[in-house]
């Protein structure tokens, strides 16, 4: 998955219990997501989103990684509330940890199509979640059913993004704390890292590991290290856009990430660390051998992630335009 900071660790999900029809999310207002939320108000929602997303993804194969990252960065700060789309002064998007975030304008493109069919009904937050879901399936990953009914926040703060978005040198201890303190089990936590199977990483986030590694962060596969040095030849990247693939199949959602990690080809420190840590190594090995099992666990983790700290009408709204609050 496309990432600047370890990516999407962001993911930290406020994992909540899933029932057959609803998902409990915000304890503050006891708001419930529902798998049939738009059954009457916008029955063609998912078909419209699928059509719109397919057009975008066919024209730009890097889009799935961008949309996944957009979801992760949104949900990690305030919850899954489309706060990352707001362009108000000092909003989340200006945080340096949101470097490289792309495709926000495509959410508005899809919103416009939905407004023509179901005016004032579908939130930008639900669109982000649905687009990420479609991106996984389009790229060869599992088809995931997610509950809907998220509302859009009226606030966005770059300082919150600075605090809550993880940095590229995150440790296994920190990573597990982020996820498990919010309800994910060990398997789900490791599975969400599998989103790294899509997209690229930026040289700016791995040069310290290449040229100034701290003890334990060194790349153990020297051939892989040489390849990375060719892609990122200086301690200071020549441009901020210099990138390297996350795994050998950066446009396909598969378990290749775990196979690369077990072979010593982890791009980020956390990628290599989970293959050596006694708490996570057995899960990594299992996912590397069994793609179906990885897909199953990832699907569960995705539902939990995309249900993080969602808000209802009492605290949110359905924005008419995704990058600004309603007047």
> Is 120 a residue whose pLDDT tops 80?
yes
Q: What is the rounded average pLDDT of the residues 20-35? A: 60
Is 79 among the annotated ligand-binding positions? yes
Let me know if 61 is exposed, middle or buried by CB neighbors in 10 A (0-12, 13-18, 19+).
middle
222-256 core/surface letters (b: 16 or more CB in 10 A; e: else): eebbeebeebbeeeebeeeebbbebbebbbebbbb
DSSP strands (E only) in 93-246:
200-202, 243-245
Listed residue (142, 153, 249) closest to 198, CA to CA: 249
Q: What is the pLDDT of residue 10?
A: 44
Taken in order 120, 125, 129, 132, the sign of the CA dihedral is positive
Q: What's the residue count for the chain? A: 327
Per-residue tokens: 314: 């009492």
Distances (CA, A) of 299 to 149, 246, 296: 19, 20, 5
**Most distant CA pair in the chain: distance in Å?**
57
Structural domains in the chain, CATH included, are: 8-165 (1.10.520.10), 172-300 (1.10.420.10)
Is 60 exceeded by the pLDDT of residue 161?
yes
Is 92 within any annotated ligand binding site? yes
Is 73 noted as a catalytic residue in this protein? Answer: yes
3-state secondary structure of 201: strand
Mean pLDDT computed over 115-134 = 98
**Mean pLDDT (the chain, rounded):** 86
Distance CA 53, CA 63 (A): 9
> Mean pLDDT throughout 211-226?
72
- Is 81 labeled as ligand-binding? yes
Asked whether residue 197 is marked as a ligand-binding residue, the answer is: yes
The residues that bridge with 321 in the sheet, in sequence order, are 324
Whether 20 shows a pLDDT value over 60: the answer reads: no
CB within 8 A of 150, min separation 6: which ones?
Answer: 33, 80, 81, 82, 123, 125, 126, 129, 310, 311, 316
pLDDT one-digit tens code per residue, 286-327: 999 999 999 999 999 999 999 989 999 999 999 999 999 999
Q: Look-up: residue for tokens 């509950």?
A: 147
DSSP bridge pairs for 83: none
- Catalytic option among 30, 40, 73, 222: 73
Q: Is 249 labelled as part of a ligand binding site?
A: yes
Q: pLDDT tens digits for 246-268?
A: 567 888 999 999 998 898 888 88
Does the annotation list 196 as a binding residue? yes
Collapsing DSSP to helix, strand or coil, 221 comes out as coil
Ligand-binding annotation for 313, yes or no, is no
Global pTM? 0.85
Residue of higher predicted confidence among 226 and 93: 93
């Amino acid at each position: 998955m496309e990432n600047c900071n370890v990516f999407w660790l962001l993911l930290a999900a406020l994992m909540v219990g899933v029932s057959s029809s609803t998902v409990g999310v915000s304890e503050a207002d006891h708001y419930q997501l529902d798998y049939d939320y738009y059954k009457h108000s916008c029955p063609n929602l998912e078909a419209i989103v699928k059509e719109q997303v397919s057009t975008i993804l066919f024209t730009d194969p890097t889009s799935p990684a961008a949309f996944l990252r957009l979801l992760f960065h949104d949900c990690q700060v305030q919850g899954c509330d489309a706060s990352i789309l707001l362009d108000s002064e000092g909003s989340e998007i200006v945080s340096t940890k949101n470097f490289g975030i792309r495709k926000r304008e495509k959410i508005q493109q899809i919103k416009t199509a939905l407004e023509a069919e179901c005016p004032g009904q579908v939130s930008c937050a639900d669109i982000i979640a649905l687009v990420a879901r479609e991106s996984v399936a389009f790229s060869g990953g599992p088809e995931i059913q997610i509950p809907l009914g998220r509302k859009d926040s009226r606030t966005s703060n770059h300082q919150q993004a600075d605090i809550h978005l993880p940095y590229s040198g995150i440790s296994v201890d920190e990573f597990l704390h982020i996820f498990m303190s919010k309800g994910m089990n060990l398997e789900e936590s490791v599975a969400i890292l599998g989103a790294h199977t899509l997209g690229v990483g930026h040289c700016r986030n791995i040069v310290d590991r290449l040229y100034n590694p701290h003890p334990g962060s060194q790349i153990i596969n020297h051939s892989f290290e040489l390849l990375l040095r060719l892609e990122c030849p200086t301690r200071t990247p020549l441009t901020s856009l210099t990138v390297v693939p996350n795994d050998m199949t950066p446009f396909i959602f598969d378990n290749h990430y775990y196979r690369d990690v077990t072979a010593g080809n982890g791009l980020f420190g956390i990628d290599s660390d989970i293959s050596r840590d006694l708490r996570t190594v057995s899960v990594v090995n299992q996912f590397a051998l069994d793609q179906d099992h990885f897909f199953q666990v990832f699907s569960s983790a995705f539902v939990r992630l995309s249900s993080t700290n969602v808000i209802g009408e009492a605290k949110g709204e359905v924005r008419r335009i995704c990058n600004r609050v309603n007047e």
